Chains A and B, each alone.
Chain A
Amino acid sequence: MRRKPNTLVPLERNLLGAAVAFARAGVEEFHGYAIALELADQAEARRLTGHGTLYRALDRLESAGFLSSSLEDADQAAAQRRPRRRLYRLTAEGMRAAAAEDAAAPSHAIGAQSGLATS
């Protein structure tokens, strides 16, 4: 099924919500696995989002301008002896989109259901 332009599917709404929750908790950057864990926590689910589903949705949010991403510094990853992380960051546009989604559906307010939301 082809999606309508300028609309978010539930997974993208949830990802944006998790990104907002991270931002509110003072976590400015996060990697893919961290947001998969956060989504599972929000939904109280035992299973993490599938690889393809997660990264396709993150790529779409980035293409829409709601997230930005960059590869972390190679030295930092090498110092911890692990692969480099792609770090995602919520953009101002992403924050506005999340607020607009909240206004449209306040009962499912983005970020409200996260364990990371501190205020």
Chain B
Amino acid sequence: MIVPMDRADLAVASLVRAWLRLYTVGVSPQKRERRAQQLESDLWEHQADATARGISRGVTSLSIVDRMVRGIPADIAWRTRIGGFAVTISIPFNRAVGLVLLALVIAVPIATTMAGWDTDRDAWGAQLRDLGERQRWQTHLTNIFQVIAGLGLIAAGIALGVTMAQRSRGLAIVAGVLLGIAGTLTLVSAALYAAVAELAQEFAAGTAEPGAAGTARGLAIVLQNTVAVATLCAVGGVFVISVAAARQALLPRWLRFGPPLAITSGVASVVLGGFEATENAEWLSFIVTFVLTLGWLVVAGGMLALRRLDTLPLPTPPAAPA
């Protein structure tokens, strides 16, 4: 018997198979194959039975999705019982770290561009009007990049946590958590940016409620501090990655000094910001931090991503005392 299938039938079958692939990640091939055979047979029998009874395709598709959804708790329980969620990822360590670093080259500037507003009380009106007079698509595009940067940082944190864990477990967790926090704060900043941009549009159009400028300034100050913490977390994550790469001898010796220099320069920028007379020095140290961080990300990321280091042996444990 041939069971006629339309797009809905195929889509539903694909959904069931996709869920199967997801919850059987890391399961032994025999167990996965057994479950796949059970489901393939069940899907076919269900559709054949429905066809024989004259049940409509839509009702059958809904019934299959219903069965899949109601079975999810049992699937998860089955998956948990047969051995946790250990996942083996075969991405070479150096390539993964290198790609993450290169991705940060894009994410870090996008995340920090939000902090460039002049929130001084006297200058804020002009700043808000300037922001409000931008085209709407420009603010939307900026917002989209910010969200991508935030999600990218979170993804980078997860990728590092998984790929570095085999070699440097402690450092992998620290780097992963720092990048994850940086990503989350970037998403928060994106939300704040959208709110400020909306208020700025109303302000520029003259339709803003009284006090809107003050609210926008408050949000902008929170946004700047959030971005500052996110940037610190991202730079800290990069620093931890550089320590791990140095321990594994993945990078030339001279490259190891980049992140510590950038952090020193960044701290100097913050300290100098407290003195009105050192405005130029503050600006200069901020630029040095920025250039050092980006330069290091490009060079180190490129070297790790492109060089063939796949055969690098895992670190050997120290010899036991005789």
Residues on A close to B: CB < 8 A?
31-34, 36-37, 47-59, 71, 80-86
| A32 and B78 in contact, given A52-B73, A81-B1 (Cβ under 8 angstroms) | no
Q: Cα distance A56–B48 when bound, in Å?
A: 23
Q: Could you write out 15 A-B pairs with CB less than 8 Å apart?
A: A32-B41, A33-B41, A33-B45, A33-B46, A36-B42, A49-B67, A50-B66, A52-B73, A52-B78, A53-B71, A53-B73, A82-B44, A85-B41, A86-B37, A86-B41
- For the complex of A and B, 3 pairs with smallest distance between CB atoms: A52-B71, A50-B71, A50-B70
Mask of B63-91 contacts with A, CB within 8 angstroms, 1/0: 10011111111111110000000000000
* Interface size, B (range): 20 to 34
Interface of chain B: mostly helix, strand, loop or mixed: helix
Q: Cα distance A33–B47 when bound, in Å?
A: 10
Residues on B close to A: CB < 8 A?
1-3, 16, 34-35, 37-46, 48-49, 63, 66-78
Q: Which residues of B contact A59 (CB under 8 A)?
A: 78
Q: Cα distance A31–B46 when bound, in Å?
A: 11
Q: Cα distance A19–B2 when bound, in Å?
A: 28
CB distance from B68 to the nearest CB of A (A): 6
Q: Which residues of A contact B38 (CB under 8 A)?
A: 32, 55, 58, 86
Q: Cα distance A52–B35 when bound, in Å?
A: 9
- Whether B37 lies near A84 (C-beta < 8 A) is yes
CB distance from B182 to the nearest CB of A (A): 37
- Whether A83 lies near B68 (C-beta < 8 A) is no
| A51 and B41 in contact, given A37-B49, A82-B1, A82-B48 (Cβ under 8 angstroms) | no
The answer, among A33, A36, A50, A55, for a CB contact under 8 Å with B35, is A55
CB distance from B170 to the nearest CB of A (A): 34
Q: Cα distance A83–B44 when bound, in Å?
A: 7
